[in-house]
Structure 1
Amino acid sequence: MTKILLVCIARHLGDVAPQLFGALRRMVEYTLQTPGYKQDTIDFIVLTEQPRDKEGKRLAGNQAIRWNMKKVRPHALKHYHYILRMDSDMIPPPHALVTLIKTSVKHNAPIVTSLTPERPAKCGTDQFSQLMNWNENEPKEKIISSIKQLKPFVCTGNAGVGFMLMTSAALKKIKWARLKDDFGFWNEVHKLDIKVVCTPRVVCAHKEHRPAIVRGEKWIVEHWRKVILRNLAAHRNWYHGFPYKWWHGHSVETFLVMLPLHLNQVKEPKWFTYQGNKNESLKML
C-alpha cells in the first residue's frame, strides 16, 4: 500500500482557488478507482503559517513556502512514500496523480512535474513555464517536440514547483533552505544529481487571482524584442514561438506596439479539462 501526502501552501485558507478543492476530489476518486492504486492512502494538508523575520516582518512568498516545506518534511519522511506539493492556484486534471507516479516509476525519476501555463497577467503569455527562456531548460526545440508527442522530458533548469511529485528518497536529500527562491531550489536539486522529469500528459490550469503584473511591462516588451532578434538571426519567422493571436496580422513594429495591451488581460485557462488523449493536439504549440 502506497501512502501519498498532498501538500498545498497558501497565505490563508481563503487564498486557495475554490476550483482546486473540486479538482483534488476528482483526482483522488480517479486514483482510488484505478487498478493498482485502490488500496493507497491519500492525505491532504494546507499549510498557511506565515513566518516572520527577526524584525517581525512576514517573510516573502517563496521564503514562506520553504519554511512550511521544511516543517512538514520530517512528518512526510516518516509516514509517506510520495509527497505532491502544489501551489494554491493550481487546478490539476483527474488523472494527474496516477500519471505522475507512473512517470516517476517508468523513468526512474524522483521528481516529476506537470506542464503549467504561465499566467498572462504575470508575464504576458500563457506559454508553458518550462519553455520560458528564463527557466533555462534545454534543448528547447527537443522539449517542444516532446510536448507535441506527449513524451516526458528531462528538465535541466527550473522545472516548476507549482504541481510537483517527489519520492521520499528525493525529499530526504533536499533540505528546503528557507532563503532560497525557485531557482535556488532547482540549483540544489541539480547539484544533488536528482533526475527531474516533466510529463506533458499532466497539464494544470494556472488560476488568475488578480491582474497585478509581477514582471513589469518594460521587461516583457524587451524580452519579446530579444526573442524576435534571435528568431531573425536563426533565419526563422520573427513570430516563431509566439502566441498565435498576438502576432497574427501584425508586423514586427505593430506587434511591439500592441504587446502591452495583452498584459492586463485576465484569461481563464482551459488546460484543466485536458485528459491526456494521445490523439489530441496541444494547440499552443
Structure 2
Amino acid sequence: MTKILLVCVARCLPDVAPKLFKALGKIVCYTRQTPEYKKVTIDFTVLTEQPLDGKGKKIPGNQARRTNMNKIRPYAIQHYDYIVKMDSDMIPPPHALVTLIETSVKHEAPVVTSLTPERPHKCGTDAFSQLMTWNGNEGIEKKIPSRIKKLEPFVCTGNAGEAFMLMSREALKKVKWPPYEASGDFAFWDEVHKQKLKVVCTPRVVCAHLDYEAGSQLIRSAKWVLEHWKTVIIKNIEEKRDWFYGLPYDWWHGLQPLKFLEILPFHLLDQKKEPKWFTYRGKQK
C-alpha cells in the first residue's frame, strides 16, 4: 500500500491559506476516486515550529522551515513512500498528487515539481518560475517552452522550485535541507543535483499562487486565466486579427467572442482535461 505525506511549511498556522486546505481536500477525494489509488494512505502535517538556536533565540524564516523539514525527514523515510512538500500560499489542482506520482514513475524521476507562476507584484510577470533566468535551468529559451506547449515533462538542471514538490523515499534518503540558505532554495537544489537525482517538472500541474502583498490575488487561478484570455481577444480585435488568434484549442470554432467567454469558465474548472489554457508563456506587468 502506497503511503504519502503532505507537508506544508509555514511561519504559523494562520499563514496557511484556507483555500489550500480546501484544495487538499479535493486532492484527497480525487486521488481516492482514481482506481489505482483507492487504497493509498494520505497524511497531512503543517510545520510551524520556531526552533531556537544555541543562544535561545528563534531561528529566522527560511532557516526555521528547513530545520523543520530535516526534523520530519527521518520519520517520512521510515513511514512513507513519498512526501509532497508545499508552501502555504500554493493552491494545487485536484489531480496534482496523482499526476506527480504518475510522472515520477513513468520518467523514473525521484523528484517532480509542478509549474509555479511568479507573482507580478514581485517579479513583474506571471510566467513560470522554472523559466526565470536566475533559476539556471538549461533550455529556457526554446526547449522548455516547447515542452510546456506540448504538455510534456521536462528535466530541470537548476532551481526547479520547492513550492509544490514530490519526493520519493529514495530522494529523501539522499538529500537533507541545508541548515541555512541566504538566497532562497538554491542550496537545496545544488544538493539534489550533486546527488545526481533526476528532477522533472510536469506542465500538466499548474498551481495557483496566492499573493498576499497584492490584495490576495490568486495568480493563474481559473479567474486569473480567464482574464488573460479576455485580454488576448481584445488585443486580437484591436490589431484586426481573427479574435481567436493564438487560442490553444479548437472547440471554440463557430462561436462569437462573448459566447466563447461565457463557456470558457466551465472548461477551466477541470485543469486536467483543459491544461493548455493555464500554460501560456506569461505576461509582463
TM norm structure 1: 0.76
Compare 46-55 and 117-126 and name the one that shifted more: 46-55
Between the two proteins, the alignment pairs up a number of residues equal to 233
Map 1:126-145 → 2, pairs under 5 A: 126-140=126-140, 141-145=142-146
State how far apart, in whole Å, the 2-side matches of 1:105 and 1:9 are.
25
Map 1:174-189 → 2, pairs under 5 A: 174-180=175-181, 181-189=184-192
State how far apart, in whole Å, the 2-side matches of 1:200 and 1:191 are.
25
RMSD: 2.4
Amino acid of the structure 1 residue aligned with 2:105: V
Q: In structure 1, which of residues 196, 199, 202 is the aligned counterpart of residue 202 of structure 2?
A: 199
State how far apart, in whole Å, the 2-side matches of 1:103 and 1:278 are.
18
Q: Which residue of 2 aligns with 1:69?
A: 69
State how far apart, in whole Å, the 2-side matches of 1:45 and 1:147 are.
31
SS of equivalent residue, structure 1 residue 5: strand
Residues 142-179 of structure 1 show CA distances to partners (whole Å, capped at 9, x for unaligned) of 00000111000000000000000000010000122211
Compare 140-149 and 47-56 and name the one that shifted more: 47-56
Q: Which residue of 1 aligns with 2:51?
A: 51
- Once the two structures are TM-superposed, the CA of residue 62 in structure 1 deviates from its matched residue by 1.7
State how far apart, in whole Å, the 1-side matches of 2:172 and 2:122 are.
29
1:276 aligns with 2:277: no
1:162 aligns with 2:159: no
State how far apart, in whole Å, the 1-side matches of 2:195 and 2:270 are.
33
State how far apart, in whole Å, the 2-side matches of 1:205 and 1:52 are.
33
**1:56 to 1:210, Cα distance in 2 relative to 1, 3 A:** farther
- Once the two structures are TM-superposed, the CA of residue 121 in structure 1 deviates from its matched residue by 1.9
- Once the two structures are TM-superposed, the CA of residue 122 in structure 1 deviates from its matched residue by 1.9
- Once the two structures are TM-superposed, the CA of residue 283 in structure 1 deviates from its matched residue by 3.1
- Once the two structures are TM-superposed, the CA of residue 56 in structure 1 deviates from its matched residue by 4.1
- Once the two structures are TM-superposed, the CA of residue 59 in structure 1 deviates from its matched residue by 2.6
**1:183 to 1:21, Cα distance in 2 relative to 1, 3 A:** same
* Structure 1 outlier segments of 4+, above 4 Å: none
Compare 59-68 and 77-86 and name the one that shifted more: 59-68
Amino acid of the structure 1 residue aligned with 2:187: G
- Once the two structures are TM-superposed, the CA of residue 52 in structure 1 deviates from its matched residue by 3.0
- Once the two structures are TM-superposed, the CA of residue 54 in structure 1 deviates from its matched residue by 3.5
State how far apart, in whole Å, the 1-side matches of 2:132 and 2:232 are.
16
- Once the two structures are TM-superposed, the CA of residue 186 in structure 1 deviates from its matched residue by 0.3
Q: Which residue of 1 aligns with 2:151?
A: 150
Q: State whether residues 149 and 276 of structure 2, in contact with CA within 8 Å, keep that contact through their aligned partners in structure 1.
A: no
State how far apart, in whole Å, the 2-side matches of 1:65 and 1:184 are.
14
Q: State whether residues 109 and 198 of structure 2, in contact with CA within 8 Å, keep that contact through their aligned partners in structure 1.
A: yes
Residues 10-56 of structure 1 show CA distances to partners (whole Å, capped at 9, x for unaligned) of 11110001100000000000000101100000000001001233444
Q: Which runs of 5+ in 2 are unaligned?
A: 216-230, 239-264
SS of equivalent residue, structure 2 residue 200: strand
Residues 168-226 of structure 1 show CA distances to partners (whole Å, capped at 9, x for unaligned) of 010000122211340000001001000000000000011011249xxxxxxxxxxxxxx
Residues 56-83 of structure 1 show CA distances to partners (whole Å, capped at 9, x for unaligned) of 4433322111101000001101110000
Amino acid of the structure 1 residue aligned with 2:111: I
Map 1:228-243 → 2, pairs under 5 A: none
State how far apart, in whole Å, the 2-side matches of 1:156 and 1:201 are.
19
State how far apart, in whole Å, the 2-side matches of 1:274 and 1:155 are.
26
- Once the two structures are TM-superposed, the CA of residue 279 in structure 1 deviates from its matched residue by 7.2
Amino acid of the structure 2 residue aligned with 1:280: K
Q: Which residue of 2 aligns with 1:267?
A: none
Q: Report % sequence identity.
A: 63
State how far apart, in whole Å, the 1-side matches of 2:270 and 2:280 are.
12
Amino acid of the structure 1 residue aligned with 2:150: Q
Q: Which residue of 1 aligns with 2:14?
A: 14
TM norm structure 2: 0.76
Amino acid of the structure 2 residue aligned with 1:136: G
